[in-house]
Amino acid sequence: MECDAEIRVYCKCRGRYVNTICKSISHRDPIDCNAECWKKQRDQKLASAFGSSKNFEENKDSIKLEYYPEDVLEFARDHPKFIKKCESMLQDIVLEKSSRSFSGLSSGKKMFLTQLVFEHFKLEMCTYGGKNAKTVTDVFWKEGCKIPDIMVSEVIQLI
């Protein structure tokens, strides 16, 4: 049976969808969940912890949460010493209105640092160096930066 009608293909959690044309394909794989889906799932879990969605909705603006993606949490669990060092150095940058340099970071460590710098501490970062020179990443203080309400190391301890 072939049709030209539009159908919705949902992600696994059914939090988002895309419209597509039905072309006699009996089964379509779901689309991938994204960060917005994971945030909705987290909010649903918090609503459950508060007893109802209504209670959560009434109180959610007073609840301060950081959202750390699953890959960041996994990396943090595998590299606790590096995580503590990063968090300490980034806190110093915020409090002292200064900068710090990181050198020789692996791609995983740089990815983690980038996430913390831009998403959670709201700092600035610049990487330079290259082929024959050692790569250096400088992190700088900027107006509006902050220390997150909860650190990734604290989240890992709760898991």
pLDDT in tens, 81-111: 999 999 999 999 999 999 999 988 888 899 9
DSSP strand E in the chain: where? Answer: 6-10, 17-21, 99-103, 124-128, 136-140
Q: What single-letter DSSP state applies at residue 96?
A: H
Query: What is the pTM for the complete model shown?
Result: 0.59
Identify the pLDDT of residue 1: 47
CB 89 within 8 A of CB 117: no
Q: What residue ranges of the chain have pLDDT lower than 50?
A: 1
Which residue, 85, 80, 97, is CA-closest to 140?
97
Identify the pLDDT of residue 77: 92
Identify the pLDDT of residue 64: 56
Question: Which CATH architecture does the domain made up of 70-158 adopt?
Answer: 2-Layer Sandwich (3.30)
The pairing of strands 124-128 and 99-103 is: unpaired
Express as a percent the part of the chain with pLDDT over 70. 78
Helix, coil or strand: residue 107 = helix
Q: According to CATH, where is 3.30.1370 located in the chain?
A: 70-158
Identify the pLDDT of residue 71: 87
Using alpha carbons, list the distances in angstroms from residue 84 to 5, 30, 45, 72, 151: 54, 38, 27, 14, 9
- In our burial notation (b when 16+ CB lie closer than 10 A, e otherwise), range 3-22 reads eeeeeeeebeeebbeeeeee
